[in-house]
Amino acid sequence: MTASGLSDAVPLGPHDGEPHQAGLNNRLNWLRAAVLGANDGIVSTAGIVIGAVGATSDRSAIMIAGVAGLAAGAMSMGAGEYVSVSTQRDSELALLAKERRELREEPEEELAELAGIYVGKGLDEELALEVAKALTAKDALGAHAEAELGIDPDDISSPVHAAWASMLSFTIGALLPLLTMTLASDAIRIWLTVAAVAAALAVTGFVSARLGYARPGRAVLRNIVGGLFAMAVTYAIGSALGTQIG
State pLDDT tens for residues 60-71.
999 999 999 999
- pTM beyond 0.85: no
Tens digits of per-residue pLDDT, 137-176?
A: 888 888 888 888 888 888 788 888 889 989 999 999 999 9
Q: What are the extents of the domains in the chain? A: 23-102+157-245
Indicate the SS3 state at residue 159.
helix
* Contact (CB, 8 A) for 218 and 210: no
At 222-235, the pLDDT tens digits run 999 999 999 999 99
Query: What share of the chain has pLDDT > 70, as a percent?
Result: 86
The average confidence (pLDDT) of the chain is: 83
Q: How far is CA 180 from CA 177, 197, 238, in A?
A: 5, 9, 18
